[in-house]
Amino acid sequence: MRPFNFIKTENVSQALSQKKETAQFIAGGTNLIDLMKKNIAQPDTLLDITSSLSNKIEKKSKGIEIGAMVRNTAVALDETVLSQHPLVSKAILAGASPQIRNMASTAGNLLQRTRCPYFYDVTTPCNKRKPGSGCSAITGENRMNAIVGYNEQCVAVHPSDLCIALAALDAEVNFISKNQKQGSIDFKNFHKLPESTPQKDHTLPENSLITSVSINENHFNKNFAYVKVRDRDSYAFALVSVAAALHLKDNKIVEARLASGGVAHKPWRWYEAEKFLKNKEPNAKNFAEAATIATKDLKPLSHNSFKVSMLKGAIETALQDCIKV
Ligand SMILES: Cc1cc2nc3c(=O)[nH]c(=O)nc-3n(C[C@H](O)[C@H](O)[C@H](O)COP(=O)(O)OP(=O)(O)OC[C@H]3O[C@@H](n4cnc5c(N)ncnc54)[C@H](O)[C@@H]3O)c2cc1C
Ligand code: SF4
């Protein structure tokens, strides 16, 4: 680990004015410090933003706004989140450990880096860590890697649980840029595919600060489920995960939402399956058909074809769980 300066910023203006290419913001530090220990991230300055950003969850006219510094545990246990967007709470509680969730911030969770083993092994080629060096996972140990939404540049998967629920609920990410302009990005456009820039995971403008995440009111607080399949029951990232939510009326699905983690470079929405479910009855046959539609065109790598049937089962289970709630 290289020596670095540490500056505790007091407010957003100070944090943005101190931000330069070689500096990095630090929130809970649960991902960044690991990256620094392994010399993957080498900032010369850490800008502590824990006192500069909101740690409150606020009700707004259209829904709720979760401050960037609200810790994962606080989001998961918040009464408004539990009553209006319980899927978010379920997803968070499926991740990490209580200690990590106590430290991890909302914004930091969105920006955590992939868990591809080669990304963390600095002795191997990795386009995400060192652009142009190659991708070791394509022909290597790719059991945990993608089955959709990848290219020859990078086959890594998005690691977060929270983000899968936020993707399903069409959340928005609010930010303030270096020149103090405020903006927001639809969640579906926040994380990106590898394209020709696999080193970039998201579309947040350079040197910007995430200030909050908004979730609009919706009808997905009664019939929802989060299914995470992993090697261990705790403290493990998803092999595949599924966030499912149904808006039901008169035994018909008015609208369905289905998103997955552990399958693609970004949280992945199964739009075709969602469309199929619209106006159908919520029953086992339709759930099985939706899972078949979602998994029909997947392209597993050499060591992860098991993920296809695993995902199919996870989608069916999640949809079934939605009507058990
Ligand atoms: C052992 C272990 C197991 C884990 N298991 C899971 C799991 O199962 N599921 C899961 O979802 N996660 C898991 N995690 C990841 C954990 O959730 C993340 O490390 C955490 O959410 C990151 O939040 P943080 O506040 O600590 O971010 P930090 O480490 O402080 O920062 C992460 C990145 O975000 C940037 N950043 C932070 N805040 C802002 C902001 N407001 N604006 C702009 N940039 C910002 C930082 O500069 C840095 O680049 C695990 C982590 C560990 C160590
Ligand atoms: S999959 Fe992506 S993160 Fe993993 S080795 Fe290839 S380029 Fe690196």
Quick one: which atom of ligand 1 is closest to the CA of 94? 8
Query: How many alpha carbons lie under 13 Å from residue 57 in its C-beta half-sphere?
Result: 20
Kindly give the pairing relationship between strand 57-59 and strand 45-48. Answer: unpaired
Q: Is 157 in the pocket of ligand 2 (CB under 6 A)?
A: no
Quick one: which atom of ligand 2 is closest to the CA of 125? 5
**Token pair 């995470």 in the structure block, residue:** 228
The pLDDT of residue 23 is above 90? yes
Q: Is 126 in the pocket of ligand 2 (CB under 6 A)?
A: yes
The pLDDT of residue 130 is above 90? yes
Q: Which of 112, 122, 128 to mutate to test the pocket of ligand 2 (most atoms within 8 A of CB)?
A: 128
Q: Give the tens place of pLDDT for each residue, 204-217.
A: 999 999 999 999 99
Among the bound ligands, name the one nearest to the CA of residue 205: 1
The pLDDT of residue 325 is above 70? no
The per-residue pLDDT for 208 is: 98
**Token pair 């709470």 in the structure block, residue:** 89
Quick one: which atom of ligand 2 is closest to the CA of 126? 8
The per-residue pLDDT for 211 is: 98
Q: Is 117 in the pocket of ligand 2 (CB under 6 A)?
A: no
Q: How far apart are CA 16 and CA 321, in angstroms?
A: 44
Question: 249 Cβ partners below 8 Å, 6+ apart?
Answer: none
Please provide the average confidence, as pLDDT, over all residues in the chain.
97
Q: How far apart are CA 293 and CA 226, in angstroms?
A: 19
Domain at 5-50: CATH architecture: 2-Layer Sandwich (3.30)
The pLDDT of residue 1 is above 80? no
**If pLDDT is split at 50, 70 and 90, which confidence band does 147 have?**
very high
The per-residue pLDDT for 136 is: 98
Q: CATH top-level class for 223-322?
A: alpha beta
**Cα-flanking dihedrals φ and ψ of residue 5, to 5°?**
-85, 150
The per-residue pLDDT for 233 is: 85
Q: How far apart are CA 306 and CA 283, in angstroms?
A: 26
* Domain span(s) for CATH 3.30.390.50 in the chain: 223-322
Q: Give the tens place of pLDDT for each residue, 63-117.
A: 999 999 999 999 999 999 999 999 999 999 999 999 999 999 999 999 999 999 9
The pLDDT of residue 234 is above 90? no
* Domain span(s) for CATH 3.30.43.10 in the chain: 5-50
Residue whose CA lies nearest to ligand 1 atom number 9: 95
The per-residue pLDDT for 264 is: 98
Quick one: which atom of ligand 2 is closest to the CA of 153? 7
**If pLDDT is split at 50, 70 and 90, which confidence band does 235 have?**
confident
The per-residue pLDDT for 172 is: 98
